[in-house]
Amino acid sequence: MRVRTEQLAALMAIVDAGSFEAAARHLSVTPSAVSQRIRALESDVGQVLLVRAIPARTTRAGDVLLGLARQQQLLESEALAELSAGGAPVMDLPVAVNADSLATWFVRVLDECATWSDVTMRLHVEDQGHSAALLRAGAVLGAVTSDPVAVQGCSVERLGTMRYIPVAAPRLAGRWEQGRGYDWAAMPVIRFNAKDDLQQRLLATHGVTGSPPTHVVPSSEGFLAAVRAGLGWGAVPQDQLGDDLETGRLVRLAARERIDVSLYWQRWRLRSPSIERITAAVRAAAADLLNP
């Protein structure tokens, strides 16, 4: 069995464009030609590779070949860049990163990438506990994740710890004071999205198993703004707080309580200068700005 380049290109185009018709336009061929390539590829490997929906998405077997397609594309771009004295293709670097990292320490990575004229960054913002799924699907070449177990075909290294502090606006905290603590079961709370379990983890330490009134603010900067406004309390990255605790704009709800999240860098296990370069940038930023 041999997987042909044009078949992998069709698979990648369908996933990126969302449909067979859009992929055909991208590849400058007919929709029938795209369908034939995918049917032939599925026949060769003996498995269904795509869920024919809008947008189209890969099956587990399709994920494997999609990862192969993206790796081939990266290596081809790097080879052309090495052979060309000028006019080499700009390389695409798709990376997954959680919103809190993007709002804090990962900015240092962007500063470094801004000095590279031969690449384009394509960031996928995903919760650190779920970004590994993008690696499995072949959608990104590297991911900041909280998963220490390497995805098949990837290597993993620990970056450090992001520390989250439970904080609230003074008037909200004052309203829900109860003895020496707070009425955690009733005090409104803010979550980033349905995948965000940081606040629930802290509530569990206070014996709260239900859900207090919960606001959802799916933006790192908006989350902090909502906490400052008194909409609810939330676990905010320590590095994002600035001088809010010193000025009294926010109060810490528990003097010693915190939530530490270990972060890891997972990347394709591939000999690639581009992957090595982005890995070095991530490693350096994490070493300077994350907790050990």
Report pLDDT for 86. 61
164-210: per-residue pLDDT in tens? 999 999 999 999 999 889 999 999 999 999 889 999 999 999 999 88
Joined tokens for residue 19: 């449909």
Report pLDDT for 143. 96
CA-only gyration radius of the chain, Å: 23
Q: Please report which confidence band the pLDDT of residue 85 belongs to, taking 50, 70 and 90 as the band edges.
A: low
Instruction: Report, as an integer, the average pLDDT of 71-95.
Output: 81
Pick 280 or 81 by higher pLDDT: 280
Decide: 206 and 196 in contact? Cβ < 8 Å: no
Residue in 181, 163, 165, 161 with CA at minimum distance from that of residue 173: 181
139-163: per-residue pLDDT in tens? 899 999 999 999 988 999 999 999 9
Lowest mean pLDDT among 78-87, 93-102, 274-283: 78-87
Report pLDDT for 115. 95
Residue 99 clears pLDDT 80, i.e. is over it: yes
Q: Strands 142-145 and 91-97, how do they pair?
A: parallel
217-272: per-residue pLDDT in tens? 999 999 999 999 999 999 999 999 999 999 999 999 988 889 999 999 999 998 89
Domains and CATH numbers, the chain: 1-89 (1.10.10.10), 91-292 (3.40.190.290)
Residue 87 clears pLDDT 70, i.e. is over it: no
Write out the H or E segment, with its range, that includes residue 194.
none
Q: Please report which confidence band the pLDDT of residue 130 belongs to, taking 50, 70 and 90 as the band edges.
A: confident
CA distance 224 to 237: 9
Report pLDDT for 205. 93
Sign of CA dihedral 290, 220, 166, 128: negative
Q: Is 20 exposed, middle or buried (0-12, 13-18, 19+ CB in 10 A)?
A: buried
Instruction: Note if the bond before 292 is cis, omega within 30 degrees.
Output: no
CA distance 275 to 28: 30
Lowest mean pLDDT among 16-20, 125-129, 279-283: 125-129
Residue in 247, 213, 256, 252 with CA at minimum distance from that of residue 235: 252
Decide: 158 and 148 in contact? Cβ < 8 Å: yes
Q: Please state, in angstroms and as integers, the Cα–Cα distance from residue 116 to each residue in 109, 120, 268, 276, following that order.
A: 11, 9, 21, 14
Instruction: Report, as an integer, the average pLDDT of 29-41.
Output: 94
Report pLDDT for 88. 63
Report pLDDT for 256. 85
3-state SS, residue 265: strand
Joined tokens for residue 71: 């790796």
Average pLDDT, the chain: 92
3-state SS, residue 94: strand
Write out the H or E segment, with its range, that includes residue 38.
helix 31-45
